[in-house]
Structure 1
């Protein structure tokens, strides 16, 4: 049976990763995958991305880098995304991965005009989500953890908008049959987003945002988290 590939485009803070594991670990745990059912490739470090046909599915992680940074590895990852979609590999891009997919497939990523979004926000599904393989049966509105300065400013031509939010109109989209992007973080739990709020408190103050108020938004996000397991089940059932 083919494995699921986790494309590492970045990681959490090094000291926090030493304590709790990194984005790839949180993602694999969220998908409920045994250690022999997934592999990770560090695209950010320049590791070559393998042929999409070798895998049952792929997840593109979040990152502290920005899609517009212009690094060579980002261009390489975009090219791989296009190959993966052409090969009909199921994909799930998370936060940076969501923005990268939008940018790679004909949309546009960039800084959100209203600045940083962080905390736990309401994600509202569109009508199209009712027929989507991984979003159907979820509540119309559910909480999701967010921490991002950039966003998918424009979706690719022909993309299906699946979810929106008060700050970000593009909380999720799907391209083609099975390539999804989610701006929110299904792999984060409440302690993780609280850690990010604490570490970005100075940045929040500089933008006129109240970290104490933002902390009051934080709550558990079981519906958001379930998308990882739903995506894995979809990949492994094909």
Structure 2
């Protein structure tokens, strides 16, 4: 479903991603963990060209882009394969929960409004927020806003969902509801790539974990092996600190 070859990205003199290679099979839930500044978010944003890589090749569900040779049509085709859930929700403040979902369906996918509303209501039901359909973001908790963001991402029917620390901006009391929704999506077979510091979620839901540090994949392993018997000493040290 996802193949990355030779991916590099620098910001000025800071080489954030260093010649990354990996692939992800359909239905896998891959979490990216590691210290801050290790390249996790940059990698996630490079997969759909929100950050334009300096070198390398990305393939998602048969759509391939090579850095330096891309065009607008390729980028659009690649982005149509993915949906991204951001750390800070990125909801339109002047639109209701329902409208935040229908906007893209109507304007981008040219879906009739009646059909878009029906689909949005179904997705709000799925994330447990149908009763909030007419509320504006200011009247929703952080956890509720993030669940609307997930529903909006699902509306595009992506092949791959990208989550950039979806719970890091939430109060502890709201984290569980968001993680529960993500677990349900994973159980439905969605291919997911998740940047997360929620080690309980990583242990229980991920099929694979990539540990990134210094722009490189230090370890690529199953949760069982990585948590119980990490191959790399740096991984071991990071997990010991994360468990504190």
Give your verdict on TM over 0.5: no
Q: TM-score, normalised by structure 2?
A: 0.29
With CA pairs under 8 Å and 6+ residues apart, which has the higher RCO, 1 or 2? 2
